[in-house]
Amino acid sequence: DDGISFTKVFADGKEVGKTAVGRKSEDRTLKLKLPPGNFLIRLEQWGLPPVGEWTRLDDSLQPRERFVRIERPLRQFSTRS
C-alpha cells in the first residue's frame, strides 16, 4: 500500500516538527534546530486511509524511541513512513 502519510517528531516528549505529507514510499527529510545535548526522540507515523481522517498508526507499527546526541545546533532526520 503506497498511501499518504506524514511523521511527527517529538524530542523529550514535546512535538518539535513534522514531515511534509507524501506517499509512504517517498523519503522525507525534516531539519530541526535543537540545542546540543541528549534527547529522547520519538517518531509518530500517521496515515490517511482511503476514506476518513488522518489516523495514527498502531503502536506495533511505530518506530522505537531512541536517545540521540546532538553535537551541533542543527539535526536532520530522514524518514519513510
Span 12-70, pLDDT tens digits:
999 999 999 999 889 888 888 888 899 999 999 999 998 899 999 999 999 999 998 88
pTM for this entry: 0.82
Domain ranges for the chain: 4-19+31-71
Is the pLDDT confidence value at 80 over 80?
A: no
Q: Phi then psi for 60, rounded to 5 degrees?
A: -65, -20
Cα 80 from Cα 11, distance rounded (Å): 19
The residue to which cell 500517521 is assigned: 46
Cα 49 to Cα 51: distance, rounded to the nearest angstrom = 5
**CB–CB of 24/3 below 8 Å?**
yes
Closest by CA position to 26, among listed 77, 78, 80: 80
55 forms beta bridges with 47
